[in-house]
Structure 1
Amino acid sequence: MTVIPDVMRAAVLAGPGRIRVRDLPVPEPGPEDVLVQVHRASLCGTDLKIRSRAFFKNGGPPVGTFVPGHEYAGVAVAVGSTVDELRVGDRVVAEAHRGCMRCATCLRGSYTDCLNYGIPTKGQRTQGMTVNGGFAEYALNHVSTLHRLPDQVSFDAGVVLTTVGTVIHAFDVLRDLLVGARVAVIGPGPIGLLAVQVARQLGAELVALTGTRESRLKLGGTFGADLVLNAHEDDLVARVRAVTDGHGVDVVLECSGAPSAVDDALRLTRRGGAVVLVGFFEQPVTADLNHAVMNGITLHAVRGEGPRSVVRAVSLASRGRLATDSLVTHHFPLEEISEAFDTYAERRGGAIKVMLDIADPDTSPSLDREG
């Protein structure tokens, strides 16, 4: 029998740069909702902007009530009256975005770019950004944003699949097969390191990875990068052109958000190639767009995951096609979330993916936990 408490522990935004854990009511599912007992949640760069409130316009939500967290996995413990896609006891991973499903953008499938973003009364939800998210013992999701996790995929791996969804979305916008393509990835953070793996799975002929942190670059090599370049030491353009018949690569994924990275991306790309901007930039960027115009280079930008990208990530993981264990470097209990944030922000101990362990371990999920 599933016993759900009335009160849960949850991390909430305090003042700018602060987050604290307090008691909140456990949310009740509506007809199309699923209540998830969160087992794992992870931090990403967007969470740092949310904690500082730089992410929000007009100051953001009130202090002490808003729960961040958009990368999480757990167990369904209650379902709404119309939900038959999932059952109580199912292990699930969440994707962050649900569009309003009524605007022109949503109706063509681009729900991460919903025209009613930030208006929950019209049905739009982004977990941990426009509605409460997963840095809590329980989280409420629309059923369409949850995907069943196979038994062989751990909760740690499941959480990372949200990031894989972003990578798949980035390749989707190219509207072309990646088989035989030459690809460069800028930035060996979690997104970039997963982009190397996905490019390999999609049949890229060559994958180059550039960055500045030697340990992460070496990890990218183990994930299948053919060419690993340190931006502080190597002439990126010369090295890439040397292995691409002097032309440059077909596709560049910019995953770093570094101010100089857009110019680097343009110069690594062949004539008629494409650049996909994935990383968030801290400030306005200056780039030589005339180079793009003169060389017919197409620029794309993506935000978050796209249609069916997370469920495809689950499929890859279920077949052992993704290496995620080495990306998860730290674990903290929910009560130590401030330390987890600082560890991630300062990259202590080579932090890559920092996890919050919120419910029970993968080996014994509990459905009768009383808080």
Structure 2
Amino acid sequence: MLQAVMVKPGMIEFRNVPVPEINAEEVLIEMKRIGVCGSDIHVYHGKHPYTSYPVVQGHEVSGVIVKLGAKVAGFKPGDKVTIQPQVCCGRCYSCRHGKYHICDDLKVMGFQTTGAASEYFAVAAAKVVKLPDEMSFDAGAMIEPLAVAVHALSRAGMNLKGLNVLVLGAGPIGNLVAQAARGMGAAAVMITDISGYRLGIAESCGIDYCLNPEQQNLGTMLADQFGADKADLILECVGANPTMNQAIEYARKGSSIIVVGVFGDRANLDMGLVQDRELQLIGTLMYQEQDYLQAIELVKEGQVRLEPLITNHFPFQDYQKAYEFIEDRKDRTMKVIIALNDH
């Protein structure tokens, strides 16, 4: 079978390798779709701090089970599936207390261990999540980033029904956070970005208020649309000082800010305001199986639209061209999908 290997930053080679054998607790998946995410792009540029080369990428995926291990139950050949890409130790405090997604020795497929960028992929059945038969492979590959959004919203520890939610950043994760918030009951959602393209995608997905803070005053818009109480919950989805400080500046006293964006450098924040206003800064990392299941339900119920986020598809053997496309269209690209085994 063919396997895509990033041998060094900016260079992908294809290798012919044997189809993997599976053990009693694994399944063999014929891969169908792989999504390219921001972290993958960091690897492509050699800027991911926890990835070494060579590396096989692929963690936003969908496929079809073709073979089951002897001890696997609950699946059958032909099932559409996606994968939870965490590899956990099972022994640390977090794992022992049901928080395996923040395992002390966490490894993620496609970064610190082998990802699914192959024609076939063997994985523990415990990491496999079944998809509805009617769900497209494209949508299946986007359940992983949608699960990121669902988990981020769950970190607020509150029922979103009837709340006003502000999302800073309208990239793929920010868009999915905004859509998931609406699907989980938020009364209204405002999303911000300096990219008109991304705001246009957000508007096409039905987000209530789409704002460019370089053209409109965020504080004024919050007061106009949400009233004097402003946002009940803020999610920062950029990972940059300007948006993080906007979140702190415009947060209602005593409210929560969920930090979703990945900061490439050390943040420079006004912690005096955080302390004075009793704000809660809450981190969020990945997800658990229940977040996948809720993400699937949101798509099934039509609460989240995934198609508008897909900018382009590339065949598996054009993996490198996908990255070059993203590089050439940084400001006009949301989600690029790698397609394989379309037969």
TM-score normalised over the length of structure 2:
0.94
Q: Partners of 1:287 and 1:205 in 2: how far apart?
A: 29
Q: Which amino acid aligns with 1:31?
A: A
Contact 1:38 1:136 in 2 (8 A): yes
Report whether the alignment pairs 1:21 with 2:14: yes
The CA deviation string for residues 223-258 of structure 1, in whole angstroms up to 9 with x for no partner, is 232221102212112321333333331111111123
Contact 1:43 1:344 in 2 (8 A): no
CA RMSD of aligned residues (A): 1.7
Name which of 70, 82, 96 aligns with 1:93: 82
Q: Partners of 1:142 and 1:183 in 2: how far apart?
A: 37
Q: Partners of 1:262 and 1:30 in 2: how far apart?
A: 46
Structure 2 CA distance for partners of 1:346 and 1:274, relative to 1, 3 Å: farther
Report whether the alignment pairs 1:289 with 2:289: no
Matches within 5 A, 1:249-328: 249-328=231-310
Structure 2 CA distance for partners of 1:204 and 1:349, relative to 1, 3 Å: closer
Contact 2:34 2:60 in 1 (8 A): yes
Structure 2 CA distance for partners of 1:195 and 1:175, relative to 1, 3 Å: same
Percent identical among aligned pairs is: 30
The CA deviation string for residues 100-130 of structure 1, in whole angstroms up to 9 with x for no partner, is 2222102222222101224xxxxxxx22122
Contact 1:20 1:337 in 2 (8 A): no
Report whether the alignment pairs 1:69 with 2:58: yes
- The structural deviation recorded for 1:12 is 0.7
- The structural deviation recorded for 1:9 is 0.8
Equivalent residue number for residue 115 of structure 2: 133
Structure 2 CA distance for partners of 1:268 and 1:32, relative to 1, 3 Å: farther
Equivalent residue number for residue 164 of structure 1: 146
TM-score normalised over the length of structure 1:
0.88
Equivalent residue number for residue 142 of structure 1: 124
Count of residue pairs the alignment pairs up: 343
Contact 1:200 1:224 in 2 (8 A): no
* Structure 1 unpaired stretches of 5+: 1-7, 119-125, 362-371
The CA deviation string for residues 246-288 of structure 1, in whole angstroms up to 9 with x for no partner, is 3331111111123311101112321111111111122112111
Report whether the alignment pairs 1:104 with 2:93: yes
The CA deviation string for residues 81-110 of structure 1, in whole angstroms up to 9 with x for no partner, is 211121121110112224222221022222
SS in 2 for 1:144: helix
Q: Partners of 2:145 and 2:326 in 1: how far apart?
A: 16
Q: Which amino acid aligns with 1:76?
A: I
Name which of 173, 177, 182 aligns with 2:164: 182
- The structural deviation recorded for 1:160 is 1.0
Q: Partners of 1:315 and 1:242 in 2: how far apart?
A: 33
Q: Which amino acid aligns with 1:273?
A: S
Q: Partners of 1:62 and 1:163 in 2: how far apart?
A: 24
The range that moved more, 36-45 or 21-30, is 21-30
